[in-house]
Structure 1
Amino acid sequence: MAGPLAAAGLTPHPSDVVHSDFTRDGGRRAARDLLADDTITAIIASSDTQSIGLLAEAHAQGRRVPDDLSVVAFDGTEVSRYARPALTAIEQPIEALAAGALGLVLASLADPDRPAEHIALPSNLAIRASTGTPRTIPG
């Protein structure tokens, strides 16, 4: 089954993925690496906190969000609404995730031989001010 990138006709290059810790500084470091390529027009960060660092680094480099760069965050915590610009976010049901994880841990403790279980929870894309129409890339 094709993932969402493949379904959209996109094939990311390994250099398009930067691993960093889930902090503002981690977001800044990842943004520095990614924004070294001036053709980058969008970045998806793994957390709202990383996205705040990403926004700061983009601003420090003179990139305008969303005019030059669109930013999407995972989590969708309250932070995403109050960032400037407000972050487009893939909102995760944090309380349901925590309750589901706790339930799986407790079930595993009660029955260590229990087979692994997969739980899928819905998410929501909240479109805010950090995303826009991609700019035209010169060349």
Structure 2
Amino acid sequence: MARGTGRGGSSAAPRSVDVAQLAGVSQKTVSRVFNNEPYVSAEVRQRVLDAAGELGYRLNNAARALASGRTRTIGVVTLGTALYGPASLLLGIERAARDTGYALRVVNTLEGDPGGIAGAVEALLEQGVDGIVVSEPIDEGAVSIPVDVPVLVLGAPPAFDGPRAVSAGVGADLLARAATEHLLDLGHATVHHLAGPQRWYAARDRLEGWRAALAAHGRSEPPVVEGDWSAASGYAAGLDLASDRDVTAVFAANDDMAIGLIRALVEAGRRVPDEVSVVGFDDIPVAAYVAPPLTTVRQPFDAVAQEGLKLLVHAIENPQADPLLASDPPVELVVRASTAPPPD
């Protein structure tokens, strides 16, 4: 894909819509020029070619798609990470796409790159995708992206300049609330929270769900401990929490941190669950086989992906219809041996 400086020194790759605007014609006319179709006057054809040359525009798949109709492809913008949540949601999207008849094109972003989302969306638009899924879990700052195809937002990424955006939530706040209420229902006076990094939308949602559960039950809110999703950060937090004998219940924002936390508690002489109960989040495959087996909430990755793609395909194939509304994802608490009533 060729890139040029464009007008005003912009480094973004020019698109057919930019050529059309500069030449004063429609995108369809730009497509006809670059595909050597008839019914374009010599004067208009030259004007389009001149505009394309000024912008550094080259023929691409998006231009071909304008002439041929839909490409039956959906672009996916996602964080390039091996972390369980984002990777599992991407797998869910890939599985759900098989039933839609659409192929996927995936572009990964990098943590700490504020222009990564815009660049990924731009690259997919240049490939002529019919719609875009944005599964971007990290807040990289305010980004305004003009998009002329339907967009499915999973979670809470930046806003889009476009008339056809639909969203499907992963329900992290509801799951976090269920995890916290499980501990309160067992009789614990309050629940401590080992949070994920707050640049992540999911970590914020889990924090809010924990807070909502405590507030609904009129319980005090202990200071939040923040980890980085790793078992090592859970272990470090556990060493601090173990010294506080008032701590009888902890909700960790993911299973890896919960496992590290349990290791630290046990090493410090705090028995789990006899003295301290621990709930995780995700239900990773190993959660059932640690000692003790971990109580956790299972993320409905496949259900969210199927629901979201249903909304997106409807928006693609019914451009004049009202968008469908997403339903709340299921909440599944998996109770194992890491939770129990508080000690007398």
Same fold (TM over 0.5): yes
Residue of 185, 195, 219 corresponding to 1:10 = 219
SS at match of 1:67: coil
Paired residue total:
130
Three-state SS of the structure 2 residue aligned to 1:122 is coil
Q: Which runs of 5 or more structure 1 residues have no equivalent in the other structure?
A: 107-116
Q: What are the residue-to-residue correspondences of 1:72-111 with 2, within 5 Å?
A: 72-97=279-304
| Alpha-carbon distance, 1:101 to partner | 7.0
* Structure 1 position 10, deviation (Å): 1.2
- Give the distance between the partners of 2:309 and 2:338, measured in 1 at CA: 33
Q: Percent same amino acid among aligned pairs?
A: 39
Partner of 2:247: 40
- In the TM superposition, residue 82 of structure 1 has moved relative to its aligned partner by 1.0
Measured against aligned partners, the alpha-carbon deviations of 1:24-77 in whole angstroms (never above 9, x if no partner) come to: 101111212222311100111111111110111011101111111101001112
What amino acid sits opposite 1:58 in the alignment?
A: L
**Cα shift at 1:98:** 5.1
Distance in 2 between residues matched to 1:28 and 1:104, nearest whole Å: 41
Report SS of the residue matched to 2:234.
helix
Q: CA deviation at 1:99?
A: 5.6
SS in structure 2 opposite 1:131?
Answer: coil
Determine which structure has more spread, i.e. the larger CA radius of gyration.
2
Unmatched runs of 5 consecutive residues or more in structure 2: 1-210, 314-324
Tell me, yes or no, if the aligned pair for 1:18 and 1:33 is still in contact at 8 Å.
no
**Counterpart residue number, 1:114:** none
Q: TM-score, normalised by structure 1?
A: 0.76
Distance 2:273 2:335 in 1: 12
Bigger mean CA deviation after superposition, 97-106 or 28-37: 97-106
8 Å CA contact retained: 2:311, 2:326: no
Q: What is the rounded CA distance, in whole Å, between the counterparts of 1:104 and 1:22 in structure 2?
A: 31
- Cα-Cα RMSD: 2.9
Note closer, same or farther for the CA distance 1:100–1:37 as it changes in structure 2 (3 Å cut).
farther
